[in-house]
Structure 1
Amino acid sequence: MSEELSLVATPHRTILPALPTPQQAYVLIEVLPLVPAPEVEASPVNLCLVLDRSGSMAGAKLRAMKAAAKQVVDRLGPQDWLAVVVFDDASPADLVISSGRMLDQEAARRKIEAVEERGGTHMATGMRLGLEELRRSHHPQLVSAMLLLTDGQTWEDAEDCRDLARQCQDAGIPIHVLGLGVGEEGNWDPKLLEDLAQISGGEWMPVEAPEQVSRAFENTLSAIKGAAATHAQLTMRFVQGVTTRAVWRVTPLISRLDSHSGAMNDIQVFLGDIQHGTGQAILVDLVLPSRAAGVYRLMQADVIYNVPGSGLTDQKTAADLVLSFVEDTTQVGPLNERLMNLVERVIAHKLQTQALDEAAAGDAARATQRLRAAATRLLELGEVEMAQQTSQQAEQLEQTGQLDLAASQKMRYATKRLTETDIHKDKP
């Protein structure tokens, strides 16, 4: 068994009532690095910047993007690999820097500075070329990742982008997506950006102004270089009769995860990279079958992953989950307060995300109802400012039938961060 990661499975109750009918349950699975971040060196990376050069990027946006890309070059060393792709609505995209070791930083900076704006936005062409470059240099010793920046709606190729994100997942290459500008300054589709990140195992975020681009690139690169493990795949083997309703990543940020059924009652979930310092926590929403009183093993779980910089591949960490069922309800165990607080935060995020999707689809009445429900949850969680903003958008939607674009872009990301305070929090 590897010494790189630990795997801990915690139920919402350790002792459950023995019922003649199915019952809902939650399990929190935590995948945590065993070596503290300050004691390890940054992992070598295989990075591709896929950057929007369309006409709407002219001026401050383009200058900020090029400055941020050059700062990335400055942070890379000879052990790192870099490619830079720029895209507009032409095909194919332009390869500014072909994937290779970062040996000549000055030449790389000159090539980036020469980029000029033109045309419209066709993101799939950039993603396709970026994936080709990353595959050329892909190696278990390196942390491979794509950093994608755009400020606009991609032109009739959203499904192609999603398909490329699936190819990235298959290759173990997460996509980290940045939407530059909000509202009139950036009309990118938050649902598409979220999908690309979730499918590939990466993350996404809005960058509201050009002056924030360098910090966003810096933080993303730090997260990539801080990977303790890559290409992590979680497999959960449940006993017969257990049904999985949903799987969520809850730390570092909230994301709905795709799960796939394997042999027998196996559920497989792609986790992507596991960062030093934060790890990942996965919330599994289950329905348990009826059970007589007794002690039962509910699940076996394992994570298989690579360790960058070490040559270690297909490492494995495993854990079991055993539960007790009792007929006497007075013996039922207490709720795990930390876990249930995470559940409430996921529900608030889910309600708000569903509302935004319904509003985008034109169902203003249902979206308004969900936004108000989300505002109530947020208020109960002590997120007063976020609750007020959500209530204001519900009022606007009810009165006008539309949401403010900038608010919609920011709201989708804001509730993803509801669990940030849980990182490093001790269990009760």
Structure 2
Amino acid sequence: MVKELLDVHIEASKKAIEANRSPQLLYLLVHIRPPKELGFSELDLNLCLVLDRSTSMNGDRLEKVKSAASMIVDKLSEDDRFSLVVFSDRSEVIWPAKKVADKKVLVAMIERIAAFGGTEIHQGLEAGLQEVRRAQLPNYSNHLILLTDGHTYGDEEACVDLVRKAAKDGILFSGLGLGPDWNDRFLDELASLSGGDVAYIETPEQVFQELKQVFHGLDSAYARNVRLVTHFPPDITLTKAFRVSPTAQPLALNQHEMRLGSVEGRTPLSVLLEFSIDVQRAGQLVPMPIILTADIPYRSLRDQGVRKFHEVAVVAQAPKEDPPKSLLAAVQAWNLHQMNEKVWEDIEAGDVHAAEIRMEHLTSRLAEAGHMALARQLREEALRLSSQGEVSVDGRKRLKFGTRSLVSQTVGLPHFDHAEM
């Protein structure tokens, strides 16, 4: 194992747990960043934009999307590879994967895109990934960005299979949902397979900024395809995981490894992990191995391993201790997001009474934490649920992505000494 390729710092919610107690929760906040002494160089991009051109995109939505796509083209370097695919109930390759010698020609082609047809995401994904794979993948930073405003029907499993295979090849998927009607759970599932992101774009006016934010940093990552090996001792279970930085995103608990994303420049890749630890005997140490693999492009290294071991003492009576402030803030914000998600689970299960009680509690918690806009939105949805028996689609998305973003907003970056590593 090559330990010096990544600096890994672990914050734990407890230094010790009590013996002979029922299973106990332990949180680890894992920060991953480049070593101070190592530099890095940017890789050329191999980027595909896959844009929804279905009838529902007609008008201001499509015009703003085309303007944002033109902005991306303007930011490409002469050595970047770019492809553009549009889809409705069929796909069309507007610009096959290649370097962009004349940006004006490509922008003119973007301007001619018109809306028609239904929404079949598999059509766009399949064509887009074919374009990405035309490059020598190890030599590039490989990304596919999908923008859609609607649901796809009947091809979800095929899409999952495509993105899962692409992730194994080091292709990162990110999804942008425009308006209230797209399937956020579906895009979350796709993004979690590769360690990518999902963003909610409420209005067409926000398309430019959101696409710019996703594009930023694509070519400046120090480590790519960072994965956490999820084999832990039999008495330790990883129950939940959430990426905190550089963007907030739930992570999929796969059987063998979890894809975390990339280490972008000097910004840490930070992940919050929740473990359940079975009953333990006093006097022993519980090992918590954090085993990572990653690609380091600037040194042409793939599947490099880094091990970091954390241990938790088992004592007869655990002392009272305050967890690190950054970890506490992350867990508190994460709990707010999880409470919000449980509201919608109650509603979908038909338990309106439980949802109303949870809404009231969460509204108070959000207000106490100073998140007044979210508290007001939740109060509006609670009134709508009480009077109409339902909540608004756009309100649910505002609350989902609003509470999700609290995790990244609340957590400060750690200060630690490289000599500790």
State TM-score, norm by structure 1: 0.88
Residue 46 of structure 1: how far off its partner (Å): 1.2
Instruction: Give the structure 1 partner of residue 419 of structure 2.
Output: none
Deviations 1:254-277 (A, max 9, x none): 333122334xxxxx2111322224
CA distance 1:168–1:394, shift in 2 (3 Å) = farther
1:9 matched to 2:10: yes
| CA RMSD in angstroms, aligned pairs only | 2.6
Alignment partners' CA distance in 2, 1:200 and 1:399:
41
Residue 290 of structure 2 corresponds to which residue in structure 1?
301
Q: Which residue of 1 aligns with 2:87?
A: 87
> 1:228 deviation in Å?
2.0
Deviation at 1:385, TM superposition (A): 2.6
Q: Deviations over 1:9-52 (max 9, x none)?
A: 22211133233543222222221233599x75543211110001
CA distance in 1 between partners of 2:37 and 2:384 (Å): 47
Code of the aligned partner of 1:255: Q
Give 1:338's aligned residue.
326
1:114 aligns with 2:112: yes
Residues in 1 aligned to 2:352 and 2:22: alpha-carbon distance in whole angstroms: 37
2:233 aligned to which of 213, 216, 239: 239
- AA paired with 1:341? A
CA shift for structure 1 position 84: 0.6
* Pair 1:358–1:119, CA change in 2 (3 A): farther
Q: Once the 2 structures are TM-superposed, how far is the Cα of residue 72 of structure 1 from its aligned partner?
A: 1.0
Q: Deviations over 1:246-294 (max 9, x none)?
A: 22222334333122334xxxxx211132222433222221222222333
Is the partner of 2:133 in helix, strand or coil?
helix
Name the residue aligned to 1:137.
135
1:317 paired residue number: 306
Q: Report the AA paired with residue 71 of structure 2.
A: Q
Contact 1:253 1:418 in 2 (8 A): no
Query: Which letter does structure 2 place at the counterpart of 1:238?
Result: F
1:351 to 313, 317, 339: 339
- 1:73, distance to aligned residue in structure 2 (A): 1.2
Question: Separation in 1 of the partners of 2:169 and 2:358?
Answer: 37
Structure 1 equivalent of residue 374 of structure 2: 386
- The question of whether the paired residues in 2 share the 8 Å contact of 1:44 and 1:309 is answered with no
Could you tell me how far apart the structure 1 residues matched to 2:37 and 2:363 are?
37
Residue 366 of structure 1: how far off its partner (Å): 3.8
Q: Structure 1 residue 202: deviation in Å?
A: 1.1
Pair 366,189 (structure 1): closer, same or farther in 2 beyond 3 Å: farther
The verdict on how the C-alpha distance between 1:214 and 1:255 changes in structure 2, with shifts beyond 3 A counting, is closer
2: distance between equivalents of 1:352 and 1:358? 10
- Which ranges in structure 1 are unaligned for 5 or more consecutive residues? 263-267
The offset of 1:422, in angstroms, is 4.1
Deviates more, 1:343-352 or 1:148-157: 148-157
1:62-109 Cα deviation digits (max 9, x unpaired): 22212211211111123211111000113xx10111112233323322
1:23 partner letter: Q
User: Cα 1:421–1:409, aligned 2, differ >3 Å: closer, same or farther?
Assistant: closer
Alpha carbons 2:286, 2:314 under 8 Å: kept: no
Q: Give the structure 2 partner of residue 55 of structure 1.
A: 55
* Residue in structure 1 matched with residue 249 of structure 2 by the alignment: 255
2:397 to 409, 413, 423: 409
Contact in 2 for aligned 1:17/1:332 (Cα 8 Å): no
Distance between the aligned counterparts of 1:390 and 1:217, measured in 2?
27
Correspondent of 1:374 among 357, 362, 368? 362
CA distance in 1, matches of 2:92, 2:115: 12
Superposed counterparts of 1:53-202, under 5 Å: 53-90=53-90, 93-137=91-135, 139-182=137-180, 187-202=181-196
With over 3 angstroms needed to count, the CA separation of the structure-2 counterparts of 1:207 and 1:136, relative to structure 1, is same
Aligned-partner Cα distance in 2 for 1:176–1:354: 25
Check the 8 A contact 1:355/1:367 in 2, yes or no.
yes
Deviation at 1:150, TM superposition (A): 1.1
Q: Provide Cα deviations, 1:167-193, integer angstroms capped at 9, x if missing partner.
A: 3333332221112234xxxx2222223
Structure 1 window deviating more from structure 2 (344-353 vs 15-24): it is 15-24
Instruction: Name the aligned partner's letter for residue 56 of structure 2.
Output: S
1:326 corresponding residue in structure 2: 315
| TM superposition shift of 1:361 | 6.0
Aligned equivalents of 2:410, 2:35: Cα separation in 1: 18
Q: Which amino acid aligns with 2:243?
A: R
* Distance in 2 separating the partners of 1:259 and 1:226: 27
Please give the alpha-carbon distance, in whole angstroms, between the structure 1 residues aligned to 2:371 and 2:412.
20
Q: What secondary structure, in the 3-state scheme, does the structure 1 residue paired with 2:216 have?
A: helix
Counterpart in the other structure of 1:265: none
For 2:161, give the aligned amino acid. Answer: D
Query: How far apart, in 2, do the equivalents of 1:363 and 1:138 lie?
Result: 52
Distance change (3 Å), C-alpha of 1:97 and 1:423? farther
Q: Share of identical aligned residues, percent?
A: 28
Number of residue pairs aligned between Structure 1 and Structure 2: 415
Code of the residue aligned with 2:377 in structure 1: it is: Q
